[in-house]
Chain A
Amino acid sequence: MKQLLILSGKGGTGKTTVAGALIKLSQARAYADCDVDAPNLHLSMAQTGEAERLDYYGMPKAQIDAERCIGCGQCKENCRFDAIISNKGYTIDPFSCEGCGVCEAVCPVDAVSMHPAVAGEQMLYRAASSVFSTAQLKMGSGTSGKLVTEVKKRMLSSLLPETELAIIDGSPGIGCPVIASMSGVSMVLIVAEPSISGVSDMERILHTAEIFHTSTCVCVNKADVNYELTKQIERFCEEKQIPFVGTIPYDPQAVTAINNGKTIVEMDCPSGRAVREIYTETMRLLQVQAGGIEA
């Protein structure tokens, strides 16, 4: 089975719009939304059945038993995350606590204990012809990389027979959740945007993928917003020998499609037509090139 991951570096370039279109066109039997911090794919992929829901436990959180606490301040002194609040005794700021357990271990009177904490929710939708794994991190939570890994695991462990392709919508940025989403994928499709910011962010995500030995290809969305920069991205890819798989024009109808819970290939619109060509080229690359790691 091949796994195609959609990334962008910069946010809002159209990852989810492209991912939704590719899922429809390929009739992928497995797909996942790894943007656990701000998931949106479920808004384009209407699901008929109920989700199988699962609480996601991140790291445990410390709690201080006020009756036992002698106010020595050892916990606060040793906490690296500024998670201990001293205000008439000591309490934990659960948003800052990373669950390292140092406070529990240094407390001389065993007043600190660690407790499991729900940091998000995982949803799995099983249909006759596909499985869809997604999740929502609670706001203010950390450990998004761990949840990304769980989302992918859940998809992979629920595969339907004869699943040849899985499509994964990633998150913006280059940090922990992005790195977690890259593990084991056959190829990354980067949706770039022709702006100075977009070009820089594309280069940063390409570099990150290179560090983790992941093969990449690039498309440009909203290409006509800045033709010159679109050309620049194309030339950059040519120089770096990164396959360039096509461009999508800015299309107000894409907004209409999204707001109606549809993908752009379910409407007759310029962006929908353009993404079909990107689809064909990306699938061809996946077949020939994906010398990458097979999951």
Chain B
Amino acid sequence: MKKSNLTIAVLSGKGGTGKTLVSVNFAAAAESAVYLDCDVEEPNGHFFFKPEITSEETVSAKIPLIDLDQCNGCRKCVDFCKFNALAFIKNKPVLFKDICHSCGGCVLFCPQKAISEEEKVVGKIQSGMSGQVCVHTGCLNTGEASGIPIIKELLKKSAAETTLPVFIDCPPGSACIVMESIKDADYCILVAEPTVFGVHNLKMVCDLVEVFHKPHGVILNKCLETENPAEEFCKEHHVHILDRIPFDSKLGTLNSNAKIAVRENDRYRELFSALLNTVIEEANHEAVADPQR
């Protein structure tokens, strides 16, 4: 199926700069849209959308299941595991579930065929509607180390969507989990706050989106009257600034109460709608400029 829609990822490097604010309000301003919360360690978009949950699926990772009756203690599995998730205790392999990366190597290389795989639940995806916005929330179980399997499942929903715009709320940082979240995006929005902390992390996500050749622009959030190191960084490095959102205690209060500003107040609806139009124009322009994408 040919995709005619745009997938827009919102990321920031530093936490708390306003990724969720931007992605939630964009999805709400677009009216008909898909919103994916890929910040699976701390998913918050659903507090804003309060969707009526219509489906819930668990997400699992595969972990080895060792049949000790079949095992002859050759320790091939233990020697193979690069993650040290298998220890050799009393001549038998013992699995440390939390360290296992689910590579399947131990299963493949057991000469006795003593290892099969079982599913270990690591989290869930909840889906539901909020007005015309389809909300998918990934949620990692507490105590689990990696949310990547959940993000991979979430992105399948984005890939399946062919008409509505998709907004991806990414996790903070610039590590593998963020990279996974932006892989299929047509356009990346980087949200930055006016501090030297914000700049340091903005630089890292700029590098990340550049490595993946993603067209991108910056939204400067919580701008104060004073100097803005993030703005200076963008100017100096020719990073495109989409807009500046001034620090606004009313917006802050709405946001802290998990209210969608666009749905509460016409002024914010206009602000985010205009900004969204800018982003869509740019993203479409980039898509035309680079038909390969």
Contacts and interface: CB of A to CB of B under 8 A. Distances in A.
A195 interface: yes
B193 A38 contact: no
Contact of A12 (B14, B103, B200): B14
Nearest to A202: B42
A95 B42 CA distance: 24
B148 to A, nearest CB: 9
Nearest to B109: A105
Interface string B136-167: 00001011111100000000000000000000
Interface in B1-56: 13-17, 20, 41-42, 44, 47
Interface in B211-248: 211, 224, 226-227, 229, 247
B222 to A, nearest CB: 9
A38 B82 contact: no
Nearest to A210: B142
A37 B201 CA distance: 9
Interface in A1-54: 8-13, 16, 37-40, 43
Contact of A201 (B42, B104, B143): B42
B172 A172 contact: yes
B42 A173 contact: yes
Chain B: interface residue count, which band? 35 or more
A101 B105 contact: yes
Contact of B108 (A16, A98, A105, A201): A105
A195 B256 contact: yes
Interface residues of A, number: 61
B143 A208 contact: yes
Interface in A38-83: 38-40, 43, 59-60, 78, 80-81
A21 B287 CA distance: 47
Nearest to A177: B175
Contacts of A118: none
A163 interface: no
Contact of B193 (A12, A16, A193): A12
B102 interface: yes
B253 A140 contact: no
Interface stretch (A153-161, A254-262, A269-277, A279-287): A254-262
B41 A175 contact: yes
B196 interface: yes
B104 A229 contact: no
A139 B105 contact: no
A102 B104 contact: yes
Contacts of B20: 197
A194 B257 CA distance: 9
A258 B227 CA distance: 12
B110 to A, nearest CB: 12
A207 B142 contact: yes
Contacts of A172: 15-16, 41-42, 172-173
B172 to A, nearest CB: 4
B200 A80 contact: no
Nearest to B39: A173
Given A80-B102, A208-B142, A9 B42 contact: yes
A22 B105 CA distance: 46
Contacts of A141: 175-176
A176 B98 CA distance: 10
Interface in A124-172: 137, 139-142, 144-145, 171-172
A258 B42 contact: no
B196 A204 contact: no
A197 B255 CA distance: 9
Contacts of A137: 175
A138 to B, nearest CB: 9
Contacts of B15: 8, 10-13, 38, 172
A196 interface: yes
Contacts of A145: 145
Given A40-B201, A139-B207, A195 B195 contact: no
A59 B84 CA distance: 12
B275 interface: no
B129 interface: no
A80 B257 contact: no
Contacts of A256: 226
23 contacts: A11-B14, A11-B17, A37-B173, A38-B13, A38-B14, A38-B201, A98-B103, A100-B101, A100-B105, A102-B108, A139-B205, A140-B211, A141-B176, A142-B175, A145-B145, A173-B42, A175-B147, A175-B177, A194-B256, A196-B257, A200-B47, A252-B247, A259-B196
Given A176-B146, A259-B226, 9 more contacts: A40-B200, A40-B201, A80-B103, A95-B179, A105-B105, A139-B204, A173-B171, A174-B142, A256-B226
Interface of B: 13-17, 20, 41-42, 44, 47, 62, 80, 82-83, 101-105, 108-109, 140, 142-147, 171-177, 179, 193-197, 200-201, 204-205, 207-208, 211, 224, 226-227, 229, 247, 249, 252-253, 255-258
